[in-house]
Chain A
């Protein structure tokens, strides 16, 4: 009885989270442009999507910005965690407080701050400024994912490897890095996701003439969003679903293998 209630609760929350997504997927196959009635199944919005240079360019911008900024954030963030590990606790705490600012700050304030900074320095806004801004709000995610993994245990492992005759670089690559890897990967994935989903910061730091999927959607809100954007999002969503399922299956398999190894 208790179990059934619990499962019903999970179901309700899931329905709440996924209902709008289901609605959008259904509408992307709707022949009419109306959002209220489903007239007939049609793939015409998918056709329009692939013929629209505007949307294809927004797609490329969104994903190239997400990949590059997540990579930058991952490298800068991981190095920062290693460097901070050698600092006094006081300096670490101070840096972590600054690290949390972009995370806790309102997106609108972060966006406006970055925009004003660019205006004062007369930096022309465009692809580069979006990239810089995205890396800025992604670095905290990487640091928070990697930091718990660098601890006394990894320090000891590293020292043990050195005692056994490994060089510093070799010990890091073979002993420490595999320990950090899950944190680094989840930091990267989080950064990538946040970058793709961001609208507000992009909105303030982009120049005229450059669009991501989010800014393109926002520009159409008042006039009515073209269903081809639903089609685009449906494709992205399905691809993400497949990729994440594969990662999940592989990870749980790896976890099982690890446990087996320990039992031996």
Chain B
């Protein structure tokens, strides 16, 4: 009992005003129609074919990009654990630095790289392959997701991997475990909290993005994020927009529960 509990009161007030009441406002609009009476229409609107299709596509893209991020990030974390680059906060530095170039510009830069006359097509044609249509494709959107959110997968996995005691791994070898067995039975289980944190931090923003699909999909591919955004900015139908957002919160709640189950540190691996 060193510190006064009331030091936490500004934070508690902030939670109520900045998080609880605003989320309640979404629920308020989500369960209301234009006349102000209670309805489930906005929630059930998720089952309309065009919304369902957008949600399915979003899920597909989000799962794909999360898996790619995981596959890319795990070896990176393992390498950094053993290399000299892993020390002295260098890693955090290298991964945070790109954020100083605004994320909209970084995403847009992929347009430059993917265009018909762009850098990547020049390389493709240089090795004798035909020019590819890379922009405005699902592939471009997934690439944008992987690019934007990869750091959020690397950091939590690196955080847990770097905390594994070297002696534990050596003990496994001494007891006769093969490299693969050590990886499967020692390293991966000990990294689960980081993996779950990373998966959440990539999956949710990928699932709900509207910016990446706008910029790299050329506005032709509608994800659920685009639909929600348009309800607020173009159609001015806050009720429908709120209803769809509430449905999206189901995925967010699931990921919070998963995180609570696997990460006992209370989210310290997230950053």
Contact = CB atoms under 8 A, between A and B. Distances in A.
Nearest to B23: A113
A144 B232 contact: no
B66 interface: no
A193 B255 CA distance: 25
B22 interface: yes
Given A23-B112, A83-B7, A135-B14, A105 B252 contact: yes
Interface of B: 1-12, 14-15, 18-23, 25-26, 28-29, 72, 75-76, 79-80, 82-83, 85, 88-90, 93-113, 115, 117-119, 147, 150-151, 200-201, 204-205, 207-211, 214-215, 225, 228-229, 232, 238, 241-242, 245, 248-249, 252, 255-256, 259-260, 266-268, 270-271
Nearest to A136: B18
27 contacts: A6-B82, A10-B80, A16-B147, A20-B109, A23-B112, A37-B117, A79-B7, A84-B8, A86-B2, A86-B3, A96-B267, A98-B20, A100-B259, A104-B252, A108-B229, A113-B22, A116-B22, A116-B238, A199-B103, A217-B108, A221-B104, A221-B215, A237-B101, A240-B97, A241-B97, A244-B96, A255-B88
A27 B112 contact: yes
A112 B241 CA distance: 9
Given A104-B256, A117-B25, A213-B102, A85 B11 contact: no
A116 B89 contact: no
A230 B101 CA distance: 9
A49 interface: no
Interface of A: 6-7, 9-10, 13-14, 16-21, 23-24, 27, 35-37, 76-77, 79-80, 82-87, 92-93, 95-110, 112-117, 119-120, 132-133, 135-136, 139, 141, 143-145, 147-148, 155, 158-159, 190, 193-194, 196-197, 199-200, 204, 213-214, 217-218, 221, 225, 229-230, 233, 236-237, 240-241, 244, 248, 251-252, 255
Contacts of A10: 76, 79-80, 83, 85
A199 B4 contact: no
Q: Is the interface of A mostly helix, strand, loop or mixed?
A: helix
Given A99-B15, A248-B90, A17 B98 contact: yes
A147 B268 contact: yes
Contact of A116 (B98, B110, B242): B242
Given A76-B11, A95-B15, A116-B242, A108 B26 contact: no
